[in-house]
Amino acid sequence: MAVQMHVAYSADVNGAAVIAGGPFYCAQGAVMNALTDCMSMPSLLSTSALISYTTEQASSGTIDPVSNLSGSKAWVFSGMLDTVVQKGVVEALVTYYQNFGVNVTTEYNIPGEHSWVTNSYGNACYLLMSPYMNNCDYDSVGAFLNILYGSVKPSISAVSANLVPFDQTKYASSSAGMAAQGYMYVPTGCQSNPSSCSLHVAFHGCLMNAATIGTVFVENSGLNGYAEANNLVVLYPQTATQETINPQSCWDWWGYSGADYSLKSGAQMQAVYQMTTNLPTGAAGTWFQ
């Protein structure tokens, strides 16, 4: 989903941190491709076809011009022990990005399973189990924030009251596959001076939405401490669990919400973009109206 937002909305999105993800439109609208080409069988991927598709969509105006990608930044991670998404899929993303001039930094040397990797929270690094957050003694958040933002101040203690829920129904209907409630971390400094702040969107992984693991991800991702230190608002949009079409609560990267799922017109894409351009208010204040 981070790749989709980066590519489709490249006029507004400056970069992406991608953990175990493939190229834009990897699944080509088919769940079978998602489960094979984009996860376990990267030899089936045609990166050149995905590059051509991207260029065609940009020419037709369904996504932003690909020229915006040149010079943007990406941090791309694949755990050494990942048994869910093969490294070849991630390497295909790097090839795809480099074709459009994205400045890519890779990290392939952490002995982690398929997970959000931290330096202090979660399961043992080698485990594949809920909540899919693994303590690998590696600060992935610090690594990718320093790439995306140039340099950041060290993480400090987050303020629990600054993490607030917001109503997602004003941005998307239930048919979009999104939950009624999302979360946002608004640093203390941003509540009085929002113009001094940047915005980071954090997409949870499959089986990591709030309906499945509660607030474990939004509280323990590692982002909030950096956000507090660096005046960085963090948006945590949430998917809904749909037993028939999306039982693992993934973001839509294969088409369950509609054939245009990867384009600017996609239901989830539009919803998240609207959140970023009209940030929600929350219980702790009325910021960014």
pLDDT by residue (tens digit) across 3-13?
999 999 999 99
pLDDT for the residue numbered 281: 59
pLDDT exceeds 90 at position 106? yes
Mean pLDDT of all residues in 265-275: 97
- pLDDT range class, residue 233, cuts 50, 70, 90: very high
For residue 145, is it within any domain? yes
- Is 286 contained in some domain? no
Over residues 60-97, the pLDDT tens digits come to 999 999 999 999 999 999 999 999 999 999 999 999 99
Mean pLDDT across the chain, nearest whole number? 95
Band (pLDDT 50/70/90 cuts) for residue 288 is: very low
In a domain, 49, yes or no: yes
Whether residue 219 contacts residue 165, with contact meaning beta carbons closer than 8 Å, is answered with no
Total of domains in the chain: 1
Residue 182's domain comprises: 2-277
Q: Is residue 186 part of a domain?
A: yes
What band does 285 get if pLDDT is binned at 50, 70 and 90?
very low
Query: pLDDT, tens digit, for every residue of 153-190?
Result: 999 999 999 999 999 999 998 789 999 999 999 999 99
- Residue 118: the pLDDT is 98
pLDDT value for 269: 98
CA dist 192 and 34 (Å) reads: 44
Please say if the pLDDT value at position 282 is more than 80. Answer: no
Is 287 a member of any domain? no
Q: What percent of the chain has pLDDT over 90?
A: 92
Interior/surface letters 14-24, b for 16+ CB within 10 angstroms, e for the rest: ebbbbbbbbbb
The predicted pLDDT at position 289 comes to 37
Residue with tokens 């992935």: 140
pTM of the prediction? 0.95
**Residue of 215, 227, 233 lying closest to 285 (CA atoms):** 233
- For residue 239, give the nearest of 281, 202, 186 by alpha carbon: 202
pLDDT higher than 60, residue 283: no
pLDDT, tens only, 136-160: 999 999 999 999 999 999 999 999 9
pLDDT value, residue 286: 47
- Reported confidence tier of residue 107, pLDDT bands at 50, 70, 90: very high
The torsion of the CA quartet 8, 10, 11, 13, rounded to 10 degrees, works out to 110
Q: What is the rounded distance in angstroms from the CA atom of residue 4 to the CA atom of residue 98? A: 16
Instruction: Report the percentage of the chain scoring pLDDT > 70.
Output: 97
Decide if 148 is inside a domain.
yes
Any domain includes 41: yes
pLDDT of the residue at 284? 42
Lowest-confidence pick of 72-76, 205-209, 242-246: 242-246
Average pLDDT over residues 248-265: 97
Look at residue 282 and tell me if it is in a domain.
no
